[in-house]
């Protein structure tokens, strides 16, 4: 089993749709969780951190479920500019430092 797993997609949605991605992780000792966004042939950029209480940034909502060991990202009112790959990131395996990226979920938003 991979340490961090994501549905690779692609997700094809129309503008204005709501779309959700899940990410599961295997190590219950994980400490920090993030979503990064990566545009085609570009470097990853932080989208948002994920907290146990859940957090929201505009149209984006992230949730963490420690009991089931998954995190989620919800995008409301999708825009064409949301088309990208969304990378789940888990940090802090025993030792406190290790960073694990998921393989990413591709999203295409169409007019």
Partner 1 sequence: EAGVAQSPRYKIIEKRQSVAFWCNPISGHATLYWYQQILGQGPKLLIQFQNNGVVDDSQLPKDRFSAERLKGVDSTLKIQPAKLEDSAVYLCASSLMKGAGGTDTQYFGPGTRLTVL
Positions that interact with partner 1 (CB under 8 A): 4, 31-32, 42-46, 49, 87, 91-92, 95-104
Nearer to partner 1, 14 or 58 (CB): 58
Nearer to partner 1, 11 or 104 (CB): 104
Nearer to partner 1, 14 or 43 (CB): 43
Burial of 3 (0-12, 13-18, 19+ CB in 10 A): middle
Minimum distance between the CB of residue 34 and partner 1, rounded to whole angstroms? Answer: 8
- Judge if the upstream peptide bond of residue 10 is cis by omega within 30 degrees of 0: yes
10 Å Cβ neighbour count for 74?
A: 15
């Amino acid at each position: 089993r991979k340490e961090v797993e994501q549905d690779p997609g692609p997700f094809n949605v129309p503008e204005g749709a709501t779309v959700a991605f899940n990410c599961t992780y295997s190590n219950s000792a994980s400490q920090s969780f993030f979503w990064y966004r990566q545009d085609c042939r570009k470097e990853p950029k932080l989208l948002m951190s994920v907290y146990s209480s859940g957090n929201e940034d505009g149209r984006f909502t992230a949730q963490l479920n420690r009991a089931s060991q998954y995190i989620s990202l919800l995008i409301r009112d999708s825009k064409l500019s949301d088309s990208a790959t969304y990378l789940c990131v888990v940090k802090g395996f025993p030792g406190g430092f290790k960073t694990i990226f998921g393989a990413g979920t591709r999203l295409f938003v169409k007019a």
